[in-house]
Amino acid sequence: MIGWPPFGLAARILCACCVLVAPLAVAQDTARRSGYQDMGRSLQAMQDDDMANPAMLWVQEGAALWTRRAGSADKSCADCHGDVGGMAGVAARYPAFAAGLGRPVDLEQRINLCRTDKQKADALADESRELLALAAYVARQSRGRPIAPPDDARLQPFIAAGDALYRRRQGQLNLSCAQCHDDNAGRKLGGATIPQAHPTGYPIYRLEWQGLGSLKRRLRNCLVGMRAEAYGYDAPEYVALELFLLSRARGMTLESPAVRP
């Protein structure tokens, strides 16, 4: 599988693509498409069948973690939240504003707040198996629901910051997210179809990763592909971009945990 970002050939194709991109700010397709619709039938079938979707291995692990006590509070997620069914709809409205912090947090960060503040345990590492398993288990409860960003005025400045980041050219290739995902969505970049970048399936099982990964990891991959410096894992830029993408995908169906090439 020759995926994009890994460099070599892909990077050279990218350079050709910049030349092509600049003068070509063509009218964009107004119909929104999930990355799911841009995948081949066999990958769609893999995502649709819980028995074939490898992300379900993480969901299974998340179910075990949900009832496992942790930290000096010696409490499990279930001790406070009860049945995981109560999490239905939650993933569809994250990132959300965390009043205590005065800023928005994404689902993984929200889970880690419960780890540190409620369970009195150490935060789980970014992209760790456990954190992804819990995120997948919680997100699975919202599958089929419409993406519903919170109507929260406090989020506005962060969405605006994400919007600006999305349109800002950056990196050695001097590209913006919008140049690929708005202006050239549906076209090819190497072997990949450029999707519209809707966060409909996170965390995703990505074939190129041979594993599960968060939206943040996906964004880091795009930044590296643009030859921009990826922000640190706890940088506010990711949450701003995630919020902007969420507001842009309002009403689209959540597929989590999805499969992507």
Partner 1 sequence: MGHALVNVPASVKRGDAFEIKALIAHPMETGFRPGPNGVLLPRNIIQRFTCTYNGVEVFSLTLSPAIAANPYIAFFTVATESGSLTLRWTGDKDFMAEETVPITVTA
Region from 34-42, 54-62, 138-146, 253-261 binding partner 1, contact rule CB under 8 A: 54-62
Distance CA 66, CA 13 (A): 44
215-225 and 236-248 are packed helices; what angle lies between their axes, rounded to 10 degrees?
Answer: 100
Token pair, residue 231, equals 């922000």
Q: How many CB atoms lie within 10 A of CB 108?
A: 26
Residue 51 lies near partner 1 (rule: CB under 8 A)? yes
Distance CA 195, CA 212 (A): 19
Residue 43 lies near partner 1 (rule: CB under 8 A)? no
Instruction: Look up 180 and say whether it is catalytic.
Output: no
Q: Which residue among 161, 207, 224, 228 contacts partner 1 (CB under 8 A)?
A: 207
Q: Hey, which residues between 163 and 182 contact ligand HEC (CB under 6 A)?
A: 166, 175, 177, 179-181
Instruction: Tell me, residue by residue from 104 to 143, as one string, x for binding to ligand HEC by CB under 6 A and - for no binding.
Output: ------xx--xx--xx--------------x---x-----
Cis bond leading into 6, ω under 30°?
Answer: no
CA atoms within 13 A on the CB side of 149: 24
- Which residues are at the interface with ligand HEC (CB under 6 A)? 3-4, 14, 17, 35, 75, 77, 79-81, 90, 96, 110-111, 114-115, 118-119, 134, 138, 166, 175, 177, 179-181, 189, 192, 194-195, 197, 199, 201, 204, 208, 218-219, 222-223, 225-226, 241, 245, 260-261
